[in-house]
Amino acid sequence: MNVIFISPNFPAYFYNFCDRLKVRGVRVLGIGDENYENLPYHTKLALTEYYRVDDLEDYESVYRACAYFTWHYGKIDWIESQNEYWLELEATLRNEFNVTTGTKIQDLSPMKYKSKMKDVYKSVGIPTARYRKVDDYLATKAFANRVGYPVIVKPDNGVGASSTYKLKSDDELDYFFATKPPYIQFIIEEMVPGHVETFDGVTDKEKNILICSSHVMLNSIMDNVNELSDTAFYSQPVEGLDLYEIGKKVVEAFDTRSRFYHFEFFRLDEDKEGLGKKGDIVGLEVNMRAPGAYMPDMINYAYNVDVYTIWADMIKYNECFYDIHREYWVAYTGRREGIWYMYNYDQIREKYGDQIALETDVPAALSAAMGNHVFIVKSKSKEEMFEMIRYILKREDGTDWI
């Protein structure tokens, strides 16, 4: 079996996907723009061969890399990246090389354009925020005044919270129109009074869910990026939640065959006319790739499994060989440079010891959303987990972040 993996070295932990495949006897063929000599040692070990291109944005170069691998190893069985930024690239390459194990470019738009995602959500009875495309100034302004400020503007086809803004007045809308990049198609949405809960997992080729989990955001990624705040979220048991039943509907509605998926929903914090009552679920976005921000590792810690192995076994055998049973509550806490905290890293390590599942610096390219330094902690109880979040993020003046 031949699997092409695009950009196996970024983010750094993505080598795990390649490693688990190679252990199973799969040829893992990497394409990236980093010099081979600069690849981390564990990334090199996880690859059968690596083809460097000057720029992954240069489609012809990436096409030639795939053609080279086809010439040397035969038919390509899978083309993957697990990275939102490269989904269109991998979908286009599947067409070119007749790879049938993933979505092709002509079918990708409902999973890349936020406006089209809404139509799929609505088709299975899940409400979404009202919106319109940002084109005509007067019509956009009329929409904002009809739904009421604040409103959200974001790229219709975007990655993460990049170029996403909360506008609070006509003056801010005017400024946005005067400064927005002309090459980005934006949409404008009504503000949803809720917090984000995710539904993440892996499916087999019949869309059966092999493992799933959920993460609750304690603040929005948009605010993290725009306000340079701390980042914190935690994994919650999904079994028995309304989110599980709704998530299964979305799995069926989209092309989730043999996929890692990451769905985002709002849970209303108050009643909202046209959307629902406090506690109801509202559709936000879908992402046909692994969740970011070390969420795969958080699933590992919560269930005492290895989702990279589950994904690789799905690729190779279309099966999961784990007995899925949740064991821990897990929290992600991202501290921000420039904020003064009460406790230093050594104090955190001394206090929580083995309950710290992962500690790492975040690459600069990802730190706007994820924070600069991360502690992922695990606990047997929700209450203790929140105590750890408060301790790690407590300000120098004694105030709590949450």
Domain boundary among 52, 72, 107: 107
Q: Is the pLDDT of residue 225 over 70?
A: no
Say if pTM beats, i.e. exceeds, 0.85: yes
In terms of DSSP H, where are the helices of 36-86?
Answer: 41-46, 59-73
Quote the Cα angle for 198-386-219, to 5°. Answer: 45
Average pLDDT over residues 50-61: 98
Q: Is the pLDDT of residue 257 over 90?
A: yes
The H or E element that residue 342 is part of is: none
CATH number for the domain including 169?
3.30.1490.20
- Which has the closest alpha carbon to 186: 221, 127, 143, 229? 143
Higher pLDDT, 182 or 299: 299
Q: Is the pLDDT of residue 228 over 80?
A: no
- Which has the closest alpha carbon to 17: 26, 102, 101, 200? 26
Q: Is residue 123 part of a domain?
A: no
- Model confidence band, residue 57 (pLDDT cutoffs 50, 70, 90): very high
Q: Is residue 112 part of a domain?
A: no
Q: Identify the domain containing residue 158 by its residue range.
A: 130-190
Q: Is residue 309 part of a domain?
A: yes
What gap in Å lies between CA 207 and CA 248, rounded to an integer? 9
**pLDDT on residue 402:** 74
Residue 174 sits in the same domain as residue 304: no
- Model confidence band, residue 86 (pLDDT cutoffs 50, 70, 90): very high
Average pLDDT over residues 13-27: 97
**pLDDT on residue 23:** 97
Residue 146 sits in the same domain as residue 28: no
Residue 254 sits in the same domain as residue 331: yes
Q: Is residue 120 part of a domain?
A: no
Q: Is the pLDDT of residue 327 over 90?
A: yes
CATH number for the domain including 13?
3.40.50.20
Detail the DSSP E strand segments found in 85-228.
131-133, 151-155, 165-167, 186-190, 194-203, 209-217
Q: Is residue 400 part of a domain?
A: no
**pLDDT on residue 160:** 61
Q: Is the pLDDT of residue 393 over 90?
A: yes
Q: What is the overall mean pLDDT for the chain?
A: 94
Residue 210 sits in the same domain as residue 355: yes
- Model confidence band, residue 229 (pLDDT cutoffs 50, 70, 90): confident
Residue 156 sits in the same domain as residue 208: no
Q: Is residue 353 part of a domain?
A: yes
Residue 165 sits in the same domain as residue 17: no
Task: Provide the number of structural domains found in the chain.
Answer: 3
**pLDDT on residue 364:** 83
Q: Is residue 402 part of a domain?
A: no
Q: Are 368 and 226 in contact, with CB atoms under 8 Å apart?
A: no
Average pLDDT over residues 83-112: 96
**pLDDT on residue 163:** 82
- Model confidence band, residue 239 (pLDDT cutoffs 50, 70, 90): confident
CATH number for the domain including 253?
3.30.470.20
Residue 328 sits in the same domain as residue 255: yes
The region of weakest confidence among 152-156, 188-192, 351-355, 365-369 is 365-369
Q: Is residue 221 part of a domain?
A: yes
Residue 360 sits in the same domain as residue 284: yes
